[in-house]
Amino acid sequence: MSNTNEIKTYRLIIKGKVQGVGFRHWFSNLAISLGLNGYVQNKVSIDEVEAIIQGDMHSILSITEKAKTGPDMALVEGVIPNNIISNVKYSGFIIKYEN
């Protein structure tokens, strides 16, 4: 049986009207409130945001579900979560402005 407190790392791709609507700041604040580490950034594609989130499964599932709605101005069309194997240990949560 797996431990739900085990630290996991996920990559989320959020598609839709998610750039220029405050999505990264909204996501960052939510991640911090859930105790998640990692980062969020716009993708070169105008309709995608990428997030790397690291933490317990309960918090990862919570932010993944909330990302399907996003902030008021966003129009999320889909959230694609992928469990990734990473040796990187993130400390804190940041917004990246460069791709």
- Yes or no: say if 34 and 59 are a contact pair by the CB < 8 Å rule: yes
24 is catalytic: yes
42 is catalytic: yes
Separation of alpha carbons 89 and 75, rounded Å: 31
Name residue, tokens 């790392």: 9
3, 5, 37, 42: which one is catalytic?
A: 42
Q: Which of 5, 11, 24, 37 is catalytic?
A: 24
The SS3 assignment for 19 reads: coil
Catalytic residue positions, numbered: 24, 42
